[in-house]
Chain A
C-alpha cells in the first residue's frame, strides 16, 4: 500500500469516528484552499512554501485531495499550524463549507475524468452556489478562464488575476446565456449578454523563461521558478497574490517559491531499469496542450504512458482532444494499460510510434537513440505517473 492510500484510509477512519472532524480540526487556521482542473498540487506546494514565512504550515504531501485526505492532513502535525490544502473540484463545496478558508485559489476548469467529474458547466455552477454569501473568504481567481470568472463573479471578495489560459475548448459558450464567447488579444467577452473578462488587479507576464507578476500599485515580482513552463508561472502568480491577501510579503513569497524543486515527483528525474526518465504528469487535453512545449524538440523520442484506472478517468476518449500532431517527427513509445488506444490515436496523428508493454525491460525494442539519451521524457497519466514514481528506486 502506498503512503497516499494509507492516508486516505486513515482519513476514512477519522471521519467515521468523528463526522465533523474537518470542521473541528480546521477551526480558524485554514489559510487557503486550492482547486483547479490542472495545477492544484503544484500551486498548493508553492503557496504552502511561501506561507511558511509566517510560521509552520501543514499541507498534503501525497495529492490526497478528497474528504479523507483533507481530514488526515488536518489531523496530523502541529495542531496550531496554518493549513494550505489542495481540494478536488467535486469535493470543494463540502470542504469549503467545513473549513471557512481565509483565501480560495481557483485556477482553471477543463474537461477531465468525465466519467467521474461533472461536466465543466456543472462544476462551475456548484462553485458559484458555494461562493454566494462567502463573506469571510477572499477568492483569488484566474480571470482568463471564463468558467472560473463565471463561478466567482458574484462572490463577495474577489481578487482577479490575469494568469492566462491556453486551452479554450471548454469555455466556448457563455455560461450565463449560452451564446458563443468571443476572444481578442487580451480578453474574452459575450457578444450577446455582455459578460466580459473581469478587470484584473494582478497580471502575469511570461517571457518563455520566467514570469513577472504585476500588481495594482505598479509593483512587480519576478518568479524564477524551477518548475518549468508557462502554466507553472501561472500557478506561482496565483499563489503570490494569495500571500498578499493573507497579509504576507510577496517579495519573500517569490523568493521562497523559487526554492521549490519538484512537486510530488513532477519533473523529477528517476531511474527505471536502464533508463533515466523525467516524469511529466499529463492527464487531460488542457494539461497536454502546454506540456508539449516543455519536451525537447523532435526528433528526440519520448515515452507516453496512458492508464484508465479510476483516478485517470475510465474513458480515454480525451486522447483525441490532445494535439498529438505536435509530436510528429519523432518516435513515441506507447505504453500503459491503454496503449492500444494511444497507438490508434498516434496512427491518426501521423506520429511514428512503437507499442511496448514494458519499455523498461532490458530487451525492450526501444526507438533508435533512446537508450543513449541522458534523460528520456516520460509523460504519464495519474496512476501511471505514481506507479513510476514509487517503484523507480526499487527497480
Chain B
C-alpha cells in the first residue's frame, strides 16, 4: 500500500511540552499496523505541503503561537488541506490557533485559521494539572493527559467536544477538546497520543481509509491505568 505522509508543523515554535512525541507515536503505531510513513518536518519560513495525509501541531508559548498562526494563515496550505479532508491533530496552542481567534501575549484577540469552529479567550486562572475526560464517539477509551494553559475555549455549532471533563479544566465549560470531520484539537499533553493510543489509531484509520483493529501494548496500558487510578481513584 502507499506511504502515509505525516507533516510535523513548526516543531521549533510549537513543541514546548513534549508534543513532538505525537509524531513518534504515529510512526510507532503505523509500524505496528504495517503502514509505511514518511515524516516531513516543516520549519517556519518553509512552505507547508498541501498533500500530506496527517498534520500535527503542538503547544507553544504565546509569542511563538502568534508567529505560527500568522505564518500558517499567510501560507494557506494547512487550511486548504483540512478542507479537502486531511487529518489534523492540534494540541493546546496549536488547538487554539485552529479556531476563529485566540488571545495573544497581551490578551488581544488574534485571528486563527478558522479550521475549527471554536473561539478562545482567557480562563480566570491558569489550568495546570492532570486532565481526564469521558470520551464521546468515536472514542470509548477515557481521555488522559496533562494540561497547562490559560485558554477558555468556546465551541460553536460546527464543532463537537472530544469528551466531558472528569478531572481538570479542559475547555473551561466542562467539555474538553473539539473535533469536526478529520480535525482534532485538544488540551491534552503527555503527549496526547502516547497516553491515548486509540486517538492515534483513529487518525491512522482516517488517513488510510481503512478500519484498523486497536493494538494494545502492555507498557501503554500500564501507564494509562496508573494515571487514571491516580487522577480518578
Task: Enumerate chain A interface residues (CB-CB to B < 8 A).
Answer: 111, 114-115, 119-122, 169-170, 172-173, 175, 178-180, 314-315, 317-321, 340-341, 343-345, 347-349, 355
Residues in A with CB closer than 8 Å to B232 are none
Q: Is B129 engaged at the interface, CB distance under 8 Å to the other chain?
A: yes
B223 touches A341 (CB 8 A): yes
Q: Does B216 contact A (CB under 8 A)?
A: no
Please report the number of residue pairs spanning A and B whose Cβ atoms sit closer than 8 angstroms: 95
Residue contact B189 to A317, C-beta cutoff 8 Å:
yes
- Is B20 touching A321 in the complex (CB atoms < 8 A)? yes
Q: Find A340's partner among B19, B21, B223 (CB 8 Å cutoff).
A: B223
Do B61 and A121 have beta carbons less than 8 Å apart? yes
**Chain B contact residue count (CB 8 A cutoff):** 36
> Counting CB contacts under 8 A, is B16 at the interface?
yes
Closest CB pairs A-B (n = 4): A320-B21, A320-B18, A317-B18, A172-B12
- Residues of chain A within 8 A of B13, CB atoms compared: 172-173, 180
A348 touches B189 (CB 8 A): no
Are A344 and B18 in contact (CB-based, < 8 A)?
no
B43 at the interface (CB under 8 A from A): yes
A120 touching B61, Cβ below 8 Å: yes
Hey, which chain A residues are within 8 Å of B129, CB to CB? 115, 314
Residues in B neighbouring A319, C-beta threshold 8 A: 18
User: Hey, which chain B residues are within 8 Å of A321, CB to CB?
Assistant: 15, 18, 20
Q: How far, in angstroms, from A348 to B190 measured CA to CA in the complex? A: 14
Minimum CB–CB distance from A79 to chain B (whole Å) comes to: 41
A317-B17 contact in complex given A115-B128, A121-B61, A175-B63, C-beta closer than 8 Å = yes
Residue of A nearest to B44 (CB): A180
* Bound Cα distance A120, B24 (Å): 25
Q: Which of B3-46 contact A (CB under 8 A)?
A: 12-13, 15-21, 24-25, 28, 43-45
Q: Contacts A121-B63, A180-B13, A314-B128 given; 7 further ones with Cβ under 8 A?
A: A169-B12, A172-B13, A180-B67, A315-B189, A317-B19, A340-B223, A348-B28
C-alpha spacing A248/B67, complex, angstroms:
45
Interface flags, B198-233, vs A, CB<8A=1, else 0: 000000000000000000010110110011000000
Tell me, rounded to whole Å, the shortest Cβ–Cβ distance linking A88 to chain B.
18
Q: Which residues of A are found within 8 Å of B220, using beta-carbon distances? A: 344, 347
Chain B residues with CB under 8 A of A320: 18-21, 24, 191, 194
Known: A340-B226, A344-B223. A180 touches B45 (CB 8 A): yes
Across the interface, A119 reaches (CB within 8 A) one of B16, B20, B24, B223, namely B16
CB distance from B232 to the nearest CB of A (A): 16
B66 an interface residue at 8 Å Cβ cutoff? yes
